[in-house]
Amino acid sequence: MKRIITVIIAALLAASLAACTGPVKPAEPTDKPVETEQVTDAPATEEPTEEPTAEPTAEPVVDNDSYYTKLEVGIPYEADIDLDGAPDTIVINNVREGEYDNDYTITVTRACAPDKPLKYSMTHCYDVFAWVLDCDKDDNTLDVVFSYDYDSDDWTCAAIRMKADGSDLVNFEDYMAIPEIPASFSGEQGFVTYTRFDILGTHDLSAYFTVDDSGFVFAKGGEGLTGPFSVYSYPVYEGEDYSTLTLLREMEVYPVDENGQRTGTRTVPVGDTVTPVLTDGESFAVVRLSDGTLAEIDVEVTTGDDWGIFINGVNQDEYAEIPYAD
């Protein structure tokens, strides 16, 4: 008996030491990282906020095949971000309120490091939307993903998660917006974002993203996805179809088959049209030709003082009147 007690104490000690120290893989950690019933009924706080900023929403968890919870401003929320068995706290506070101009802070505090919360500030925002997700069932963290918008309809997407070595929380951000994360969220498919590119005109693009140690990354393998992006036009100019460009210079393109494989080359003559359909934002775009054929073009994007978008080595401005947004 004594021996058994000793073993138990040793195990408890090991567990407590391990709590904040590294990529501790809990025994059965990732499939169901958090007790979902804990969070479906009420905000997970013992002392509810005195003045609920909205109805105590807490309709948070929609857990299909991946963990997914929407957060509400002003309501502290518990989830085991570092999967050490102790619930951690996530809260978004509106620290300065204006009609269209708010400052928010999101704070993630691990139970094992109460004196080292990670705070992320958002200033001059219209709004903020946030979720706790499990983007990768096989890593040692849940992901706090949030999106806010501010002046001139600009957006930022940010995330807080554990470092790969499990030692601390980190955050990263990117120029994107998350309009919604559907109830069917899965780490494999990722979540929908809007992002904006200037290839063949300024376009908002919707894309499936997920997060990993390197930041926001394209989610691969989502069902029904024909490429990393599906494009729809940003209404820069008036017009029936402002994304269709009439060529001022002939353009060499690569028609593709239904699998996206190039089948040859074709030259689109001056006066004919191309309409952007897909792009990876950096190396290629798919355009629809006037006869409906889909074709790829090679794209090169240069940055800094030499900013430019080049198609077959030629600045895209030479091919057509390109509708840019400011």
Q: Which is nearer to Ca ion, 160 or 311 (CB)?
A: 160
Assigned token pair, 319: 């091919």
Q: Tell me the closest approach of the beta carbon of residue 106 to Ca ion, in angstroms.
A: 17
Q: Tell me the closest approach of the beta carbon of residue 285 to Ca ion, in angstroms.
A: 33
Q: Which is nearer to Ca ion, 135 or 286 (CB)?
A: 135
Q: What is the DSSP letter of 104?
A: E
**In 10 A of CB 203, how many CB atoms?**
23
Q: Which is nearer to Ca ion, 135 or 251 (CB)?
A: 135
Q: Tell me the closest approach of the beta carbon of residue 87 to Ca ion, in angstroms.
A: 6
Does residue 133 sit in helix, strand or coil? strand
Q: Tell me the closest approach of the beta carbon of residue 82 to Ca ion, in angstroms.
A: 4
76, 43 Cβ separation under 8 angstroms:
yes
Q: Which is nearer to Ca ion, 63 or 84 (CB)?
A: 84
E strands, 273-313, in order: 273-279, 284-289, 294-302, 308-311
E strands, 75-213, in order: 77-79, 88-96, 102-109, 118-133, 143-150, 154-162, 169-174, 191-197, 203-212
Q: CA-to-CA distance for 262 and 294, rounded, in angstroms?
A: 10
Instruction: Write out the residues near Ca ion by the rule CB under 5 A.
Output: 80, 82, 84, 86, 88, 111, 134, 136, 139
Q: Tell me the closest approach of the beta carbon of residue 142 to Ca ion, in angstroms.
A: 6
Q: Which is nearer to Ca ion, 72 or 84 (CB)?
A: 84
How far from 239 is each of 77, 242, 324, CA to CA, in Å? Answer: 47, 5, 14
Q: Tell me the closest approach of the beta carbon of residue 185 to Ca ion, in angstroms.
A: 13
Q: Which is nearer to Ca ion, 212 or 298 (CB)?
A: 212
